[in-house]
Structure formats: C-alpha cells, structure tokens
Amino acid sequence: MSLAVAAQAADSPGALAESLIKLRAEVEQLNNDVELTRQEARTQAAALAAQRAELQAAVGRSELNVRKLREDLAKRQAEAGNAGVAGETLKPVLLAALDGLRQYIAAGIPFKQTERLAELDELKRQIEAGTLAPPRAANRLWAFAEDEFRITRENGIYSQTIALDGKDVLADVAKVGSMMLFFKLSDGRVGAARKSGDTWRFEVTTDPADSKRVLAYFDALGKQIRQGWFELPNALAGGAR
C-alpha cells in the first residue's frame, strides 16, 4: 500500500475498510491466478508425458517391424543355405522378403518413399529377370534392410519434393526417426505429414505456437543437435492434432 493510500485510509474507518476489501480481493485474485497457472503447468506436463510415451511406443513398433523383417530374411537365407537351395529356388524367398519391406515403406511416413520404393522395384526386376545372382541379391536386400533400420533411429534435415495443395514443391524435411515428418518451405511456411486412413498428406501448420515449435526443431537439427527433448506438434499417425 502506498503512503498516499495509507493516508487516505487513515481518514475514516469506512475508507480503511474499503481499502482492506480491495486488497483482499486483489490477494484472492492473485491466488486464483497462481492456482490456474499451476493447473495449466500440471496439464501441460501430463500432455508432454503422454506424448513422450506415445513417441516411445511408436519407436518400439518401428524398430520391431524392421527387426522382424531382418530376422525373417536371415532365417530364410539360413534355411536356404542348409538345404543347399540356390538359383531359381531361392527367388521366392528373396521376393517374399522384398515384398515385406515394400509394404513397410509404403505404410510408413512419406520420407523419400519414391526413391526407396524405386530401389526395391529395381532389385525386384533384377531378381525376376535373373540378371542378379541370388546370393548377391540377398546381400543387397540385407543392406537395404539395414538402411531402413538406420532410418528408424536417425533424426535429420533433408531435401525432398512433397505434394502440397495439388502441386509438387521442393521442401526441407525434418524427420523424427520413422515416426513423424515435418517440412519447411522457402516462403517460411511449415507443416507436417499427417495420415488419414491409408493416405498421407502434407499439411501446413496454422497454429503459430506449433509453427514456432517446428522451426525450433529445424534450428536444433541445423546446429547438429540431434538428441534431447523437443516439444513438437503431435504428427503421429492417428495422433491428436
């Protein structure tokens, strides 16, 4: 209370009572504001914890899928070797493993899908045409599976063409392993790849707070900060917006 207010309050009991009532109201309002801030902080912490758990689960699923494909390929190769299988007999084994990888890529985030699928299609063409010996094809397929496993673990910035509003545009993309994919355009717009049903779409972010988070992630990756805790919009397949 300032000296002027104190002097006025001392003039009469009524003025003092009114001043005390106002001060009490201000204190109650401050208490309410503090409690509201605490509740918002608890809510945000709970939301971040839930998102972190969801991300960890998604990482586990992605790694499990790739691991199963790798183990299946290794098992089939071992079975073929033990049985003395070679040549034409080994082709179905390789093609089955190749199809499994293709389905995995097609269902995942749209990170350089065209290039990755094209590499598999070329390998399939060579296997079917017999221009690549089965043992060499098996080694190529194994190396491809290793690359896919690496993709699930790495974060980074890349350039790729994305489909946005019916047009193909060149964008910088920043991925979170094989779980989420964000993009940044030369005009400053940012967004994320989102899945609806079986279809992925690149959508521009309209929430200023989310745009700021995406830009901060790009900035961190640009500074080679690839590990740590980043607050990001939820762009998980099937996740809340």
pLDDT in tens, 108-129: 999 999 999 999 999 999 999 9
Same domain (yes/no): 113, 134: yes
- Cα–Cα distance for residue pair 140/77, rounded to 1 Å: 13
Q: What is the mean pLDDT of residues 120-141?
A: 90
Same domain (yes/no): 64, 133: yes
Q: Is residue 101 part of a domain?
A: yes
What are the pLDDT digits (tens) for 74-118? 676 666 555 555 566 788 888 998 998 999 999 899 999 999 999
Q: Is residue 233 part of a domain?
A: no
Q: What is the mean pLDDT of residues 61-70?
A: 66
What are the pLDDT digits (tens) for 183-200? 999 999 999 999 888 889
Nearest to 145 by CA among 119, 127, 122: 119
Same domain (yes/no): 66, 79: yes
Q: Between 23 and 121, whose confidence is greater?
A: 121
Same domain (yes/no): 142, 168: no
Same domain (yes/no): 89, 65: yes
Q: Is residue 97 part of a domain?
A: yes
Percent of the chain surpassing pLDDT 90: 34
Same domain (yes/no): 36, 82: no
Q: What domain count does the chain have?
A: 3
Same domain (yes/no): 61, 149: yes
Same domain (yes/no): 164, 179: yes
**Cβ-Cβ contacts under 8 Å for 233 (sequence gap 6 or more):** 192, 205, 207, 210, 213, 214, 241
What is the domain extent for residue 27? 3-45
According to the per-residue pLDDT averaged within each range, which of 35-49, 194-208, 220-234 is highest? Answer: 194-208
| DSSP element (H, E) containing 182 | strand 180-184
Same domain (yes/no): 149, 161: no
Same domain (yes/no): 62, 107: yes
Same domain (yes/no): 173, 147: no
Q: Which residue, of 153, 185, 202, is where some domain finishes? A: 153
9 falls in which pLDDT band (50, 70, 90)?
A: very low
Q: Is residue 199 part of a domain?
A: yes
| pLDDT value of position 5 | 44
The pLDDT of residue 55 is above 90: no
